[in-house]
Amino acid sequence: MAPVPLTFQELLFRLQKFWADRGCILQQPYDVEVGAGTMSPETFLRVLGPKPFRVGYAQPSRRPADGRYGENPNRLFKHTQFQLILKPPPVNVQELYLESLAAIGIDLSRHDLKFEEDNWEWPAGGAWGVGWQVMLDGLEITQFTYFQQCGGLDLDPMCAELTYGLERIAAFLQDVDSIYDIVWARDPETGNVVTYGDVRLPEEVQFSVYNFEFAEVDKLWEHFRLYEAEAQTLLNKAGALFKQEDADVREKKRFPLLAAYELALKCSHLFNLLDARGAVSVTERVGVIARIRALAVGVARAYALQQVS
């Protein structure tokens, strides 16, 4: 008899255990809206500088424009990425990755696996890398990136970023056609199941309604401006502080760049909401992305200085 496939939460446990056993810190999801696991400071900021770092975390990623009111079986406004940063990557990083697939119950001798070129880029974050989409029987299950630059800075050492699409993998393992049918958890005593739909469908519906219909464009722009201004004020102060050669090292170390980064992330999410509302023309888009980029890159530069001070 074929083994019972992992539930959604078991899938996450297995990945976390696998990578924890290989020296990764397990972090909790970052509690600010992000569009991708990369944008969490656990990746965006920690990849900067020379310090080795290994971390794994499941990150809910919100993309308002991808919402489908819960009606499309394959698309979500919010999906969950298991994000992994290996800095620097071990030489056998690909083999480790394949072992992690075995750990979640994929017998590779029974499947077709390909690493197909897929380079990754987040222009607003000045971040990019080269890599692959890992295709399992024609399904993209992971984005595997050798991160080369972040915040416009060259990474030395560079790192490997593995992003597992948890919903996709779970639907594949459980062989269900709709994300909402994924078994999230199973009661070990009764065998009763709770599905992904039970847990998340109302959220998909209500946030689609909010993102597409109710979010007030004027207010969103206003929030954007407020957060941007606050972030910019912090960056200006950081700029002045880090330029001062005789500044107190402690003052530098305690400067709240992490707060500035959160404000930049809020701007990024507001921009995505405005986009979902159809409120950003293509002309404006370039300009707004440049504004977010100025914040993100500004934080990254200051953060790099803060690390060496």
Out of 14, 16, 103, 146, point to the residue binding another protein (CB under 8 A). Answer: 146
How far CA 131 is from CA of 27, 85, 94, 134, 287, in Å, comes to: 24, 14, 11, 9, 28
Q: Are strands 53-62 and 25-26 parallel, antiparallel or unpaired?
A: parallel
Cα distance between the two ends of the chain:
60
Out of 138, 189, 245, 246, point to the residue binding another protein (CB under 8 A). Answer: 138
Closest approach of another protein to the CB of residue 138, in Å: 4
> Does 98 interact with another protein (rule: CB under 8 A)?
yes
Helix (H) or strand (E) holding 303: helix 282-308
CA distance linking residue 243 with residue 222, whole number of Å: 31
Out of 13, 17, 51, 74, point to the residue binding another protein (CB under 8 A). Answer: 74
The half-sphere exposure of 129 on its side-chain side, counting CA atoms within 13 A, is 23
Q: Which stretch binds another protein (CB under 8 A): 94-102, 237-245, 249-257, 264-272?
A: 94-102
> Does 108 interact with another protein (rule: CB under 8 A)?
yes
Q: Which stretch binds another protein (CB under 8 A): 21-29, 93-101, 189-197, 219-227?
A: 93-101
Residue located via tokens 């594949």 = 172
Kindly report the number of other CB atoms within 10 A of residue 215's CB atom.
Answer: 18
Q: Which stretch binds another protein (CB under 8 A): 56-64, 136-144, 184-192, 260-268?
A: 136-144
Residue whose CB is less far from another protein, 60 or 157: 157
> Does 218 interact with another protein (rule: CB under 8 A)?
no
How far CA 46 is from CA of 89, 136, 212, 255, in Å, comes to: 14, 30, 34, 16
Closest approach of another protein to the CB of residue 10, in Å: 20
> Does 278 interact with another protein (rule: CB under 8 A)?
yes
CA distance linking residue 129 with residue 116, whole number of Å: 14
Q: Are the C-beta atoms of residues 15 and 56 closer than 8 Å to each other?
A: yes
Q: Which stretch binds another protein (CB under 8 A): 13-21, 23-31, 153-161, 185-193?
A: 153-161
Q: Which residues make up the interface to another protein (CB under 8 A)?
A: 50, 68, 71-75, 88-89, 91, 94-95, 98, 108-117, 119, 129-130, 132, 136-139, 146, 148, 156-158, 172, 175, 177, 278, 281-283, 285-286
